[in-house]
Amino acid sequence: MKISFIGGGNMARAIISGLKKTALSRAEINVVELDAAKRLQLEDEFGVQTTEHLPSVVDADIIVLAVKPQQLRDISIFLASFLNEQLIISIAAGISCQALSRWLNGYNAIVRVMPNTPAQIQAGISGLYAAEGVSIEQREQANLLLSAVGSTLWVDDESKIDAVTAISGSGPAYVFYFIEALEQAALELGFDQEQARVLSLQTFLGASQLASQSASPAAELRAQVTSKGGTTASAIQSMEQATIKQSIIQAAHAAATRAHELGEQLAKD
Ligand SMILES: NC(=O)C1=CN([C@@H]2O[C@H](COP(=O)(O)OP(=O)(O)OC[C@H]3O[C@@H](n4cnc5c(N)ncnc54)[C@H](O)[C@@H]3O)[C@@H](O)[C@H]2O)C=CC1
Ligand SMILES: O=C(O)[C@@H]1CCC=N1
């Protein structure tokens, strides 16, 4: 299989890094990236071919569009004349298959994917949506590619991809934000940087593993930690007073709204 990435930034790196550790490591991967330093780094780190120019992607089976949403229109218009039967995978937040297909001059073998950065350790999760022009074989190819770097969740309603963006696409940043806060608290309580890191990270890892292996919902697992009149109750009460849960819910809604807005704004052109 030959896979070309257009854009070799954070998310493309994460997927390539994950792929290199899987059965798909023998796939021929090339990356079109404007930035020479990033090209060199991708070549050194992952042994992939890189180029500055778009036409080199033409003979690929899969073309992954991994540029910013704002850069997608111009690239797609340029790409349109080179397409015959390649599968287009777009990971751009907000951009609908309809807008993309218009820029691609009606080409619609498009799978819209929302991955996340834990793909680099095969612990990602991706939402996928197939446009009408995608064959069963291409759907399987998309599934193979993304399931090599984590879990996959196919949706039938394209608007759900904006919702996936708000939960798992942006989600790693919410988790890192919480880890940052817990580490800072550990520093303030007298631990050094390394101790603060270990305490916070292992708490996250252990609690996530417990939640994923337990039949109990998160709320019940939380109740099991929370002794009446004890320490956790004080902490949770403080979080409730600061409306932390509501803030997290609102934040995810803000991300979904932004994905939708980006799509609306950029599809005007
Ligand atoms: N970073 C993340 O966690 C996630 C990002 N995404 C989506 O992935 C896409 C890429 O995001 P990032 O990797 O974070 O951005 P990034 O800015 O790190 O990477 C984009 C890359 O595209 C390159 N580029 C721009 N124009 C180009 C052109 N004409 N030809 C070749 N290369 C070009 C840039 O030099 C840059 O390295 C975005 O559309 C974003 O919505 C989706 C899921 C998660
Ligand atoms: O922040 C962004 O727009 C991208 C999409 C999901 C994660 N990063």
| Residue 4, CA atoms < 13 Å, CB-side half-sphere | 20
**Per-residue confidence (pLDDT) for residue 218, from 0 to 100:** 98
Q: What is the pLDDT along the chain (269 residues), one digit of tens a residue?
A: 899 999 999 999 999 999 998 888 888 999 999 999 999 999 999 999 999 988 777 789 999 999 999 999 999 999 999 999 999 999 999 999 999 999 999 999 999 999 999 999 999 999 999 999 999 999 999 999 999 999 999 999 999 999 999 999 999 999 999 999 999 999 999 999 999 999 999 999 999 999 999 999 999 999 999 999 999 999 999 999 999 999 999 999 999 999 999 999 999 87
In the annotated binding site for NADP(+), the residues are: 6-11, 66-69
Residues 2-161: name the CATH superfamily. Answer: NAD(P)-binding Rossmann-like Domain (3.40.50.720)
93 lines ligand 2 (CB under 6 A): yes
Cβ atoms of residues 97 and 267 within 8 Å: no
Residue 64 has phi, psi (to 5 degrees) of -100, 115
Ligand 1 site, residue 68, Cβ cutoff 6 A: yes
CA 216–ligand 1 middle distance (angstroms): 38
Query: Mutation test of ligand 2: which of 170, 174, 258, 265 has the most ligand atoms closer than 8 Å to its C-beta?
Result: 170
* Per-residue pLDDT, 57: 75
CA of 238 to the centre of ligand 1 (A): 38
Q: Which residues are annotated as a binding site?
A: 6-11, 66-69
169 lines ligand 2 (CB under 6 A): yes
* CATH number 1.10.760.10 is the correct assignment for the domain at 171-258: no
Measuring CA to CA, which residue among 47, 43, 67, 63 is closest to residue 55? 63
CA angle 130, 135, 140 (to 5 degrees): 75
| Sequence ranges of the domains in the chain | 2-161, 171-258
Beta bridge partners of 51: 32
Q: Is 126 near ligand 2, meaning CB less than 6 Å away?
A: no
Q: What is the ipTM of this complex?
A: 0.99
Q: Is the CB of 165 within 6 Å of ligand 2?
A: yes
pTM score = 0.96
**Does the beta carbon of 30 lie inside 6 Å of ligand 2?**
no
Task: Report whether residue 170 contacts ligand 2, using a CB cutoff of 6 Å.
Answer: yes
What pLDDT score was predicted for residue 55?
Answer: 76
Instruction: Give DSSP secondary structure letters for the chain.
Output: -EEEEE--SHHHHHHHHHHTTSGGGGSEEEEE-S-HHHHHHHHHHH--EEES-GGGGTT-SEEEE-S-HHHHHHHHHHHGGG-SSPEEEE--SS--HHHHHHHTTT---EEEEE--GGGGGT-EEEEEEE-TT--HHHHHHHHHHHHTTEEEEE-SSTHHHHHHIIIIISHHHHHHHHHHHHHHHHHHTT--HHHHHHHHHHHHHHHHHHHHH-SS-HHHHHHHH--TTSHHHHHHHHHHHTTHHHHHHHHHHHHHHHHHHHHHHHTT-
Contact 72, 46 (CB under 8 A): no
CA distance 32 to 259: 25
Q: How far is the CA of 57 from the centre of ligand 1 (A)?
A: 17
